[in-house]
Amino acid sequence: MENELFNRISDFIAAHQDGLITSGKRLLMALLIIAITVVVTRVIRRGVTTMLNRIKGWDDTATPIITEMLGYLLYTIGALVLLEVFGFNTNSLIALLGAAGIAVGLALKDTLSNLAAGLMLLFLRPFKAGDFIECGSVSGVIKEIDMFTTILGTPDGLYISAPNSALWGPPIKNYTRNGSRRLDITVGISYDDSIETGLAVLLGLAANEPTILPDPAPQAILLKMNDSSIDLQLRVWLPIGEYWNTYWKLNRQVKEGIEAAGLTIPFPQQTLSFTKDASAMIEAFKKS
């Protein structure tokens, strides 16, 4: 039994020797092509990443999307070479893929729109890594831009993965890009208080705060007259990195400074006046 099986295998090998040798060569060549493609792609992607990071002023958010596209391109070239080794007509295959690409494009239009949006964000660069942005319902610090999504982090430690198309369509507010930002602090004082004293208190606080930029100069203005208070506002410019610490610090100092100057921060209140008839009705209601 075993001899018969062995003889059949030997006869099969002898009859198809040339074909088996050719197939073996193709298999080895295919494995070699796959290994070379993987190694070359990794080396080139690392080299491109290193080269881009050495460019002065280069935006780190653009690096992942460029290296990913380069990787897909190299893998596609490797696949075409692999098909050539096995005797496929790549010209007809490319034509077939082109025709099928239309149908695939219609089926994956949302995915392709994210890819297109990622490319537009890459080249127009409305933000970069480390910028704090607000776009529609999405806000956070930019961590990374991929081919299809943008990764953000929030101040309270949340991870946000937003489709690129969600950041391309709506207007983008970039709170970091300009390097400085105006801080507005509003405080209400009583109508009986001195406006000049209140403005002087605000300017004095600004003069004693070292993080405030001298240009543009700090401003203290009468912003609005409300029903029960007069709103004063302090406007100062700060480096982006000092904004929130100074905001919290000045809010406390403004309250303490206003009270130390003898001014009042009034509560909302209304004054009601009654006619004689209304007063008589009220008294009659109390007696009843």
The answer to whether residues 139 and 170 belong to one domain is yes
- Which CATH number covers residue 242? 3.30.70.100
Q: How far is CA 141 from the centre of its chain?
A: 6
Residue 26 has pLDDT above 90, yes or no: no
The domain total for the chain is 3
Query: Does residue 270 surpass a pLDDT of 70?
Result: no
The verdict on residue 240 lying in a domain is yes
184/169 same-domain check:
no
Residue position matching structure tokens 């390097």: 179
pTM for this entry: 0.63
- Residue 156 in domain: yes
Range of the domain at 85: 2-107
Q: Report the mean per-residue pLDDT for the chain.
A: 81
Q: Is 34 a member of any domain?
A: yes
Task: Using alpha carbons, list the distances in angstroms from residue 256 to 218, 232, 260.
Answer: 19, 15, 6
pLDDT band at 3 (very low <50, low <70, confident <90, very high): low
Q: Based on the domain organization, do 30 and 91 belong to the same domain?
A: yes
Instruction: Check whether residue 188 and residue 237 sit in a common domain.
Output: yes
CA 83 centroid distance within chain:
40
What pLDDT is stored for residue 25 in this prediction? 75
Q: Residue 130 domain-assigned?
A: yes
pLDDT digits (tens, 9 = 90+) for 53-92: 777 766 666 777 778 778 888 888 888 777 777 766 666 6
Which CA distances in Å does 248 have to 203, 218, 242, 243?
Answer: 17, 17, 10, 9
Give the residue carrying structure tokens 């460029």: 66
Is residue 168 domain-shared with residue 252, that is, in the same domain?
no
**In this predicted structure, what is the pLDDT of residue 183?**
95
pLDDT band at 253; cut points 50, 70, 90: very high
**In-domain check, residue 282:** no
Segment 108-134 mean pLDDT: 81
* Token pair in block for residue 67: 């290296």
Residues 199 and 237 grouped into a single domain: yes
At 230 the pLDDT is: 93
CA 196, 202, 208 angle in degrees (round to 5)?
130
Q: 229-243: per-residue pLDDT in tens?
A: 999 999 999 999 899
Q: How confident is the model at residue 18 (pLDDT cuts 50, 70, 90)?
A: low
| pLDDT for position 213 | 94
195 and 217 assigned to the same domain: yes
CATH number at residue 133: 2.30.30.60
Beta strands 172-174 and 180-189 are unpaired
Asked whether residue 13 falls in the same domain as residue 100, the answer is yes
Judged against a pLDDT cut of 60, whether residue 111 lies above it is answered with: yes
Same domain? 102 vs 6:
yes
* 96 and 19 together in one domain: yes
End of a domain among 156, 174, 192?
174
Question: Which range (17-21, 144-148, 191-195, 243-247) has the least confidence?
Answer: 17-21
User: End of a domain among 107, 137, 157?
Assistant: 107
Q: How crowded is the C-beta side of 52, counted as CA atoms within 13 Å?
A: 16
Q: How far apart are CA 134 and CA 119, in angstroms?
A: 20
Distance CA 222, CA 230 (A): 7
Residue pair 184/233 in contact (Cβ under 8 Å)? The answer is yes
Task: Check which CATH number belongs to the domain holding 100 and give it.
Answer: 1.10.287.1260
Q: Specify the pLDDT at position 124.
A: 81
Span 22-34, average pLDDT: 78
Q: Does the residue 285 lie in any domain?
A: no
Is residue 279 in some structural domain?
no
Asked if 100 and 24 sit in the same domain, the reply is yes
pLDDT at 118: 80
**Same-domain check for residues 156 and 184:** no
pLDDT of 178-226, one tens digit each? Answer: 989 999 999 999 999 999 999 999 999 999 999 999 999 999 999 999 8
Q: What percent of the chain has pLDDT over 90?
A: 35
218 falls within a domain: yes
Model pLDDT, residue 284: 62
Instruction: Indicate if the alpha-carbon torsion angle 82, 105, 118, 162 is positive or negative.
Output: negative
Q: What integer is the mean pLDDT of 125-130? A: 86
